[in-house]
Amino acid sequence: MSAPTSAVGQLSLNGTNDANGATPQKRMILYAFMMGCSGHQSPGLWTHPADRSRHHNKLSYWTDHAKLLESAHFDGLFLADVLGGYDVYGGNLDAALSSGAQFPVIDPLLLISAMAAATTNLSFGITATTSYVHPYELARRFSTLDHLTNGRVGWNVVTGYLDSAARQFGAKNQDLHSKRYEVADEYMDVVYKLWESSWADDAVVQDPTKPIYTRPERVRQINHKGKYYESVPGPHICEPSPQRSPVIYQAGSSGPGMAFAAKHAEVIFIAAHKPEVAKKRVDAARSGAKEAGRDPTTLKVLALLCPIIGRTDEEAAQKYKDHLAHGSDDGALALFGGWTGIDLSTYDEDEELRATESNAIKSAVENFASQDPTVPKWNKKAVAEKIKLGGLGPTIVGGPESIADQLQDWVDLAGVDGFNLAYTLAPGTFEDFVELVVPVLKKRGVVWADYPQVEQPKTENVTDGPKEGYGVGEKVGITSREKLYGVGQKTFRSDHYASKFTWKAGQEAPALD
């Protein structure tokens, strides 16, 4: 739990002053962090009478959340996912099953169309792995969603971290970490070629006078032949979508993960309990982007935070105690086991974990101890208490002004661009944030008062059939990439690796080697 602070810094968007001579505030990017399960980062909180996450398999649960977030002009909703259960703790799924810790879990991709239909501007970040889905199939899924949302999707690229998932696909365990990223790098080449290079921007003409739908000479095979994907001929089965490629998110913190992010990611997510620790991650990420030939300021960094909000600091502190009491120790230790590979079930309840012979346990627990030196003994209970509200990210507690101050501190001290906000109660955490904190942030000028307006599609000259509806005159909102880089920048920036693949209107097809 972070202590409230009061410093509110001023960060420039572009290094220039506004018309009044004041330095404009840096806008905070706001995402809600959810998953198709109960509790998500706060295992056991489904037992709280105000929580509704047990209804994660009901469509209205998702559409109501989407409408709530759009009402407060959030950038988007980010959806985590796994393809296996947390079975390290105790060597089985019992703790995860009994507590509902990210098991059962539903497919996030199938939620997007409904939420998009209920909103106009809210974006959606979707986790999907490069380990178990063929790139040709994944490319169609994301192109489809980008079409149906009018450009409001992003892909959180993961290689997986659970051996339990690998076993479902016929392997004993996952490939080595470095190999998974090597495979992922080739995977990205395949999907970039499909999204960016198999169709020209001017391939689809839909000219009934000729008649011709697509110009065949402006579509080509990609004929990818690689080490891990020996033959992907193409072309992409979908025409170019509004963004062509989804916004690329990434959350890896290892050496290979950060190298991957430097080359591919437009947004990265980090989890660090203190701004000064986060700053090191931010600086390293931007340095990597610069080395990759990109403008480092265009790599957006979002910090994982879990806010517990009251109308006063005292009310928030009471909420924290109440929510902590509903958390599940077993669920937290199951998640810890999956995240770290460490099984704490074999240790005594009161055993000091910093005194074990396991270097992995010592390292993990010493990290917790450095964050909270007030804990007298780091036993299993203490580890569970540390992570059962908000997971591996920090939990910040306070009234509206205090929460706004703490968010501003993270922007000022860590240099992050915004936040991926986890919840203790769904929808309670987000309702509190929308009702109590967003007005403060808007008053300070650090979040949008409204979504930027974008040009609407040209009016169709309809001579027969329905004059509106059925796709005619559909209202569009701001795309995911425009939220990052400004209205008009729907596709990759020119300094992004994938931009070299883009087949532009009126131009020859670029080389694919």
| Domain CATH code at residue 257 | 3.20.20.30
Are 130 and 174 in a shared domain? Answer: yes
Are 201 and 254 in a shared domain? Answer: yes
Are 244 and 377 in a shared domain? Answer: no
Instruction: Note the pLDDT of residue 6.
Output: 31
Are 184 and 240 in a shared domain? Answer: yes
| Residue 13 falls inside a structural domain | no
Q: Is the peptide bond before 211 cis (omega within 30 degrees of 0)?
A: yes
Are 359 and 221 in a shared domain? Answer: no
Q: How far apart are CA 266 and CA 249, in angstroms?
A: 6
H/E element, 421 = strand 418-421
- In this prediction the pTM is 0.93
Of 387, 406, 437, at which residue does a domain stop? Answer: 387
- For residue 476, give the 3-state DSSP assignment: coil
Instruction: Note the pLDDT of residue 24.
Output: 67
Q: How far apart are CA 384 and CA 337, in angstroms?
A: 11
Q: How many CB atoms lie within 10 A of CB 452?
A: 13
Burial of 21-47, coded b for 16+ CB within 10 Å and e otherwise, reads eeebbbbbbbbbbbbbbbbbbbbbbbe
| Residue 148 falls inside a structural domain | yes
| Residue 323 falls inside a structural domain | no
- Condensed to tens digits (0 to 9), the pLDDT of residues 233-254 reads 999 999 999 999 999 999 978 8
Structural domain total, the chain: 2
| Residue 132 falls inside a structural domain | yes
List of the chain residues with pLDDT < 70: 1-24
Instruction: Note the pLDDT of residue 254.
Output: 84
Instruction: Note the pLDDT of residue 8.
Output: 31
| Residue 343 falls inside a structural domain | yes
DSSP 194: I
Are 370 and 409 in a shared domain? Answer: no
DSSP 435: I
Instruction: Note the pLDDT of residue 124.
Output: 98
Are 343 and 280 in a shared domain? Answer: no
| Residue 436 falls inside a structural domain | yes
| Residue 271 falls inside a structural domain | yes
Instruction: Note the pLDDT of residue 22.
Output: 52
Return the C-alpha torsion angle 67, 395, 286, 447, nearest 10: 40
Are 291 and 355 in a shared domain? Answer: no
Instruction: Note the pLDDT of residue 120.
Output: 98
Beta carbons within 8 Å of 107's beta carbon, 6+ residues apart = 36, 81
Are 262 and 350 in a shared domain? Answer: no
Instruction: Note the pLDDT of residue 19.
Output: 42
Of 342, 363, 387, at which residue does a domain stop? Answer: 387
* Domain housing 368: 329-387
Are 86 and 145 in a shared domain? Answer: yes
Q: Which residues on adjacent β-strands are paired with residue 420?
A: 31, 304
Instruction: For residue 73, give the amino acid letter.
Output: H
Q: Which two tokens stand for residue 122?
A: 């809210």
| Residue 160 falls inside a structural domain | yes
Are 382 and 409 in a shared domain? Answer: no
Are 348 and 303 in a shared domain? Answer: no
Of 357, 387, 417, at which residue does a domain stop? Answer: 387
